Homo-oligomer: A and B are copies of this chain.
């Protein structure tokens, strides 16, 4: 194998698609993957979420890192989630250890995101799909669990003609550990958005704000958004 071919193979080996929401988790995943030498293409989704501010963050992060991105509009009007329906309230100050699925659950979200990522990965010869899912603070979403991600990887590999691997490096990390990792990797936190409400400033009361605030506080860091 010549040097050119070797280089091409090596670079193909490190080619990945990343699901980039613009939140803390996906952005930290991006900086981690970049740090590990992966060459990424980003998928950004607008599915009617209230907090579409996160999309601006995702685009900014992609641009800052010179990463090509695709913005996909999803139509899932049947989903009755407080993230997508204005007439359903986002829960504030809720008891977060509840076993019930919160109203912020968007049915099938990561299943749909990963299926698009599979199509893109096969089409551009990428071997990896990165997703920032993690379980500790996952609010009970079934499509953030390791078992689901493993199952989805199997299904995808049966449904396309190439082999891909889904990587979820944050899966066992707490929000505190994710912020600490982000800090180490110089993640520009000012271009990450977490608040479900998507107002001008974070509401500080939704689950997503509360996990973020606690993580920064525990680390003695200042969140540039506050």
Name A's B-contacting residues (CB within 8 A): 70, 72-73, 75-80, 101, 105, 107-112, 114-116, 118-120, 122-124, 142-143, 145, 147-148, 151-152, 154-156, 158-161
Contact = CB atoms under 8 A, between A and B. Distances in A.
Contacts of A116: 76, 108, 112
Dominant secondary structure of chain A at its interface with chain B: helix
Q: For the complex formed by this chain, how many copies does it contain in all?
A: 2
Nearest to A157: B151
A119 B123 CA distance: 24
A158 B150 CA distance: 9
A148 B158 CA distance: 5
Contact of A70 (B72, B78, B124, B151): B78
A148 to B, nearest CB: 4
A108 B122 contact: yes
A114 to B, nearest CB: 8
A148 B142 contact: no
Contact of A159 (B76, B108, B118, B124): B108
B119 A142 contact: no
Contacts of A155: 111, 148, 151-152, 154-155
13 contacts: A70-B77, A78-B120, A105-B161, A107-B122, A107-B123, A108-B118, A109-B119, A115-B115, A142-B161, A145-B158, A148-B158, A148-B159, A154-B155
In this complex, which of A73, A110, A158, A160 has the most chain B Cβ atoms within 10 angstroms of its Cβ? A158
Given A110-B159, A142-B159, A159-B108, A119 B76 contact: yes
Contacts of A70: 77-78
A193 B75 CA distance: 25
